[in-house]
Amino acid sequence: MSTALPGTLYVVGVPIGNLEDITLRALRVLRAVPVIACEDTRRTGKLLSLLDVPRPALVSLHDHNEAQRVEPLLARLEAGESVALVSDAGTPAISDPGFRLVRAATEAGLPVVPIPGPSAVITALCAAGLPTDQFRFVGFVPSKAEGRRKALEALSEARETLVFYESPHRVQAFLEAAREVLGGDRPAVVARELTKRFEEFRRGTLGSLAADSGVIRGEVVLLVGGAPEVAPTEDDLEAVVGRLLAAGLSPSRAAKEAAELTGARKKAAYALALALSEGEPPS
């Protein structure tokens, strides 16, 4: 018979759509724990039934009651019960409830064990076709126009791929605001119904997607390419090299740092540093 470690909080990833994405480890833990904390007891109860997992005690833990649920669940853990934390779909605490419970357990010195599973962020990112070496998960931006715009403006110079969650009825407003703030030529992807029967990736630019976003139903992840690198002008490079020379750096050192700061070629930076250090006008 499967067992769970006493007094342990398990953070369990569950499918975001396709039931076949449940892991063997997640199944073992869900069958072993006496308590599962979940967003919606009815939805989790249905999931357990579909997965043929005997139903343990289900405790609701969602955005509106998490603060009140933490202490009772912590008491169960301290009494030696093991508890599994799940969300309605995907990985708990990633734009879902659970952070407060995890923090309380760690502060109490109780073991917290992650059971990795599906995540809409990673699922969308790995198939989007946008750079993945660096990305920023933003989650939901404000629903009102002014707040949405300010959030996008704060991200306008980010170089990494941006990943957003959005509700279906706000996707069009998001794309139009992003086109205006970030630029219509930014590459972007609308990913919806991930792992489900009608999974779809619509790829294009913010401009083309805002003009034709398609039929938007179900869960949506929006991905936007990072801000393009802007090549430094000669004036930019000269200003940086000049400041570094004035700070006492040698021409070679000033050229090296200026190249790193501006992305300019070292050879061009060094030639400029020599000219400035000798009082000659740049060629």
pLDDT tens digits, residue range 82-109?
A: 999 999 999 999 989 999 999 999 999 9
CB-based contact 84:35 (threshold 8 Å): yes
Count CB atoms within 10 A of the CB of residue 277.
16
pLDDT at 260: 80
Tell me the average pLDDT across 117-142.
Answer: 96
Q: What would the two tokens of residue 90 be?
A: 């995907």
pLDDT in tens, 199-224: 999 999 999 999 988 778 888 999 99
Q: Is the pLDDT of residue 183 over 90?
A: yes
pLDDT at 15: 97
Q: Is the pLDDT of residue 282 over 60?
A: no
Tell me the average pLDDT across 183-197.
Answer: 96
Cβ burial of 152 (10 Å; 0-12, 13-18, 19+) is buried
Q: What would the two tokens of residue 236 be?
A: 């930019």
Band (pLDDT 50/70/90 cuts) for residue 1 is very low
What is the pTM assigned to this prediction?
Answer: 0.80
Residue type, 42: R
Q: Is the pLDDT of residue 281 over 60?
A: no
Q: Is the pLDDT of residue 145 over 60?
A: yes
**61-67: long-range contacts at Cβ-Cβ below 8 A with a sequence spacing of 24 or more?**
61/37, 61/85, 61/97, 61/98, 61/101, 62/97, 63/97, 66/97, 66/98, 66/100, 66/101, 67/100
Band (pLDDT 50/70/90 cuts) for residue 258 is confident
Listed residue (126, 131, 128, 136) closest to 203, CA to CA: 128
**Quick one: DSSP state of residue 234?**
H
pLDDT at 131: 96
Give 138 or 268, the one with higher predicted confidence: 138
Residue type, 116: P
pLDDT in tens, 149-176: 999 999 999 999 999 999 999 999 999 9
CB proximity list for 159: less than 8 A, separation 6 or greater: 134, 226, 227, 229
CB-based contact 195:123 (threshold 8 Å): yes
Rounded-to-integer distance, Cα 132 and Cα 257, Å: 27
Mean pLDDT, the chain, integer:
92
What is residue 189's three-state secondary structure?
Answer: strand
pLDDT in tens, 30-57: 999 999 999 999 999 999 999 999 999 9
**What is the SS3 assignment for 143-172?**
CCHHHHHHHHHHCCCCCCEEEEEECHHHHH
